Amino acid sequence: MKTKSNDTSDRVPRDRTLSDRVYETVLSMIVEGEIAVGAKLPTEHALSEQLNVSRPILRQALKQLREDGVVVSRQGSGSFVQRRPDEAILNFAPVGSIADIQRTFEFRAAVEGEAAYIAAQRRTDADLLRLKDALTELDRCVSEGALGVDADEAFHVVICAASDNKYFLAARTSMKSNILTGMNLTRNLSLTKPQERLELVQKEHYEIYDAIVAQDSDAARTAMRNHVENARNRVFEGSVF
């Protein structure tokens, strides 16, 4: 006989499509300055009526915005805008894609972190040459201010291949269009920043490469996860309260 769980944490309706639309609507309001940095968001009741959605759906969207560091909740006071991402995010991200991009980064941190861990153990000299070729091309893109999505993608694909486990490549290939959307966004955003931004991203690539060369699996995993998490966080950089 099945017993009912007393855990109510997962009983909120998970209508991702609707909550994602609400998430992007509120995000746009913040990015466009309709709700200023430091300002309090309207109450859940007022905001759910304004957006014509249920409060559980709104809470899902606000939870994502909190995880992204865009809003912060203060007990007994409500939710406040903590960060205003650059307007460029709305120009470079396809409509309706930002929430999916964030979930893609979560996927990548898990899968590519483990791929880097194993690649550090199994990589061959040929793998290292391919990684170095991708880095050299990325160096050229940084120096010339080019986008570099193809070289960036090649670098990450080589690491999955170097794991000598076809399932890492298969998992990543299944998400390729989502991954490229995220890379296009983050690298376009980097081009709107000073040169140091591109150099910082490239430094993260070299940290992954150096760990794999040294066959330091733990360092390779950490460097890869940090790189992907940093890319995710950089999407929402902007003015902070």
DSSP string, 99-148: HHHHHHHHHHHHHHHHHHHHHHHH--HHHHHHHHHHHHHHHHHHHHT---
* Rg of the Cα atoms in the chain: 20
For residue 191, the model assigns a pLDDT of: 93
Within the chain, which residue ranges are assigned CATH 1.10.10.10? Answer: 16-85
Q: What is the mean pLDDT of the chain?
A: 91
22-40 mean pLDDT: 94
For residue 241, the model assigns a pLDDT of: 58
20-33 mean pLDDT: 94
Please determine, looking at this structure, whether the domain spanning 16-85 carries the CATH number 1.10.10.10.
yes
The answer to whether residue 151 scores a pLDDT higher than 50 is: yes
For residue 9, the model assigns a pLDDT of: 39
Please determine, looking at this structure, whether the domain spanning 92-240 carries the CATH number 3.40.50.80.
no
Is pLDDT larger for residue 154 or for residue 86? Answer: 154
The answer to whether residue 2 scores a pLDDT higher than 70 is: no
Is pLDDT larger for residue 240 or for residue 133? Answer: 133
Query: How far, in Å, CA of 61 to CA of 64, rounded?
Result: 5
The answer to whether residue 95 scores a pLDDT higher than 80 is: no
The share of the chain scoring above pLDDT 70, in percent, equals 92
Within the chain, which residue ranges are assigned CATH 1.20.120.530? Answer: 92-240
Query: How far, in Å, CA of 170 to CA of 55, rounded?
Result: 39
Alpha-carbon dihedral 73, 78, 84, 87, rounded to 10 degrees:
120
For residue 208, the model assigns a pLDDT of: 98
Q: Which of 17-26, 92-101, 135-144 has the highest mean pLDDT?
A: 135-144
